Structure 1
Amino acid sequence: MKIAVLSGKGGTGKTLISVNLSATSMDSYYIDCDVEEPNGHLFFKPKSIETETVNVRIPEINQSLCNGCRKCVDFCKFNALAYIKNKIILFDEICHSCGGCSIICPTEAIVEKDRAIGKIQSGISEKVHVITGILNTGEESGVNIIKNMLNKKIGDKKPIFIDCPPGSSCSLMESIKDADYCILIAEPTVFGAHNLNMIYKLVNLYKKPFSVIINKSIERENPSEAFCKKNNIKIIEKIPFDIELGKINSDGLIAVRENSKYRDYFNNLLEKVMQEVL
């Protein structure tokens, strides 16, 4: 069962919640799909790490076979190819690896080769399987890394917690595409409600079952809660603003492993989540 934890912006507590739910579940998988700046591994500090490189296929041009027809240039909607001074030039940073240029080339002057865009690290933290995607600096998209992580064969029915990238980009869409359930994390602010609306529309687009957790909740006007009431959205938890919890988290520690109070709290929250999922 795949449970995606997502938010419309960074800093809402998405990683805090997904890390602690994974640790509470014990024998589980934690997959960090925030490949541009993954930080779940900083909490879990996994051991026995295995690393694999993630490649994409990009064009390689044999200029001696090119007849200058420019069909590949006209085909590429991302402007990754240009014909300059009687030769095809590739801007590989903006190539989307669709393979169309090699198919359309009438002289077979274009073949494909591998280019590394990042890596996946897998390790163990107590009984939690920690899988982290890391996008190389300067790369355009981490979608292929996310695909590789989520397509890994997991041979049992352990719960899988997906720590999604913030926002509503292609990377987030890839992260929730095969999720069984989504948890939307929101802050109790006007900005928080705005970003909650954004991901609310997205999970509806994908027809995913979901509920909301409001983090850093305080007893005053709460625009995110008002948004949920207006749209008949279920709030399964309002996590109070808690300086002690914030300090444990900022120290790179997992609250449920440091304090029995938080272990009981997140165990309770996990039960609520599982009731929704099942």
Structure 2
Amino acid sequence: MKIAILSGKGGTGKTFVAVNLAAALGKSTYVDCDVEEPNGKLFFKPEIIEKKKVTIYLPAFDKEKCVGCRECVDFCRFNALVFIKGTPIVFPEICHPCGGCKIVCKYDAVSEEKKEVGEVLVGKSGETHFLSGIMNIGEASGVPVIKELLGSIPDNRNTVIDCPPGSGCMVMESIKDVDYCILVAEPTEFGRHNLEMVHQLVTVFEKPLGIVLNKCTEEENPSKDFCLENKIDIVAEIPFDKDLGRDNSNGEIVYYSNDKAKRIFNVLSGIVEKKVCQ
């Protein structure tokens, strides 16, 4: 069972839900795919047992062999290749290292150069298998790091994937093979807007989903209104609670330290398991 935790923006409580759900599931795998700013390690405090460099292969051109046929340029659907004054040039920031330009070159003028783009950490924290990645500073995309992370997930455990915030390419990569998505939202108009955005993305991917409403009070909740108006399943409502907020801010997994949180996440884990098995 693979569960993705998403939010339309940072600060909604996405990691709060992800780490505590992973704890509630017992022998689980937690995957921190927020590779621009991973913070799951602040909660699990894992013992790191392995570090793996993430590399990609970018095209390199042999100007002596290149005849200027432009087949590589015509092949590249991302427009990462151009010819300027008869010289092939690659824009690494928009290259999706598929290797296609090397395959289509009839003159063996294209080779590949390895480039390090990030790192994956493998660790353990109690019963939880821990995976986290971070992209190198200056890299345009964390997708290669996320692919390496997702390829490192063991098959025999329930998995909670802590996605990047928003609805961009890294989020799409994170959810493409999951069984269920949990969308975390705040009780504000801004929270509703961001919930709508990420809900559209998950709907395009045709993934079953449920909403966790976080920081709930007795006041108006536009995010809840959106769910009711569109008949979207609300799987948990977590109250605004100073104790939970304080402990979470101190890097604690509140499932272990707060009875109220333990009840909430035990119920949530049971609901999710039932929905995945339907």
**TM-score normalised to structure 1 length:** 0.93
Q: Cα distance, 1:259 vs. partner? A: 2.9
| C-alpha contact (below 8 Å) 2:48/2:121 kept by paired residues | no
Which residue is 1:133 aligned to? Answer: 133
CA distance in 2, matches of 1:94, 1:206: 24
Q: Cα distance, 1:228 vs. partner? A: 0.6
| C-alpha contact (below 8 Å) 2:29/2:153 kept by paired residues | no
CA distance in 2, matches of 1:204, 1:153: 25
Count residues in correspondence: 277
Q: Structure 2: any 5+ residue segments left out of the alignment?
A: none
Q: For 1:211-234, what per-residue CA distance to the aligned partner results, in whole angstroms no more than 9, with x for missing partners?
A: 111001111111111111111111
Q: For 1:42-62, what per-residue CA distance to the aligned partner results, in whole angstroms no more than 9, with x for missing partners?
A: 111110431111111210211
| C-alpha contact (below 8 Å) 2:183/2:195 kept by paired residues | yes
Per the alignment, do residues 192 and 87 of structure 1 end up closer, same or farther by CA in structure 2, a change over 3 Å counting?
same
Q: For 1:157-211, what per-residue CA distance to the aligned partner results, in whole angstroms no more than 9, with x for missing partners?
A: x210011111111111111111111111111111111111112222221221111
Matches within 5 A, 1:53-202: 53-84=53-84, 86-152=86-152, 154-156=154-156, 158-202=157-201
Per the alignment, do residues 153 and 227 of structure 1 end up closer, same or farther by CA in structure 2, a change over 3 Å counting?
closer
| C-alpha contact (below 8 Å) 2:6/2:14 kept by paired residues | yes
Matches within 5 A, 1:228-243: 228-243=227-242
Which residue is 1:251 aligned to? Answer: 250
Matching residue's letter, 1:139 = E
Which residue is 1:46 aligned to? Answer: 46
**TM-score normalised to structure 2 length:** 0.93
What RMSD, in angstroms, separates the aligned Cα atoms of the two structures?
A: 1.8
CA distance in 2, matches of 1:196, 1:93: 29
Q: Cα distance, 1:39 vs. partner? A: 0.8
Runs of 4 or more, structure 1, over 6 Å off, are: none
CA distance in 1, matches of 2:8, 2:17: 15
Q: For 1:213-271, what per-residue CA distance to the aligned partner results, in whole angstroms no more than 9, with x for missing partners?
A: 10011111111111111111111211111121111111122112233342233223322
Which residue is 1:208 aligned to? Answer: 207
Q: Structure 1: any 5+ residue segments left out of the alignment?
A: none
Which residue is 1:14 aligned to? Answer: 14
Q: Name the SS of the counterpart of 1:39 in structure 2.
A: coil
| C-alpha contact (below 8 Å) 2:6/2:181 kept by paired residues | yes
Matching residue's letter, 2:114 = D
CA distance in 2, matches of 1:139, 1:123: 24
Q: Which moved more, 1:262-271 or 1:132-141?
A: 262-271
Q: Name the SS of the counterpart of 1:165 in structure 2.
A: coil
| C-alpha contact (below 8 Å) 2:63/2:87 kept by paired residues | yes
Matching residue's letter, 2:239 = P
Q: Cα distance, 1:153 vs. partner? A: 5.2
CA distance in 1, matches of 2:173, 2:263: 33
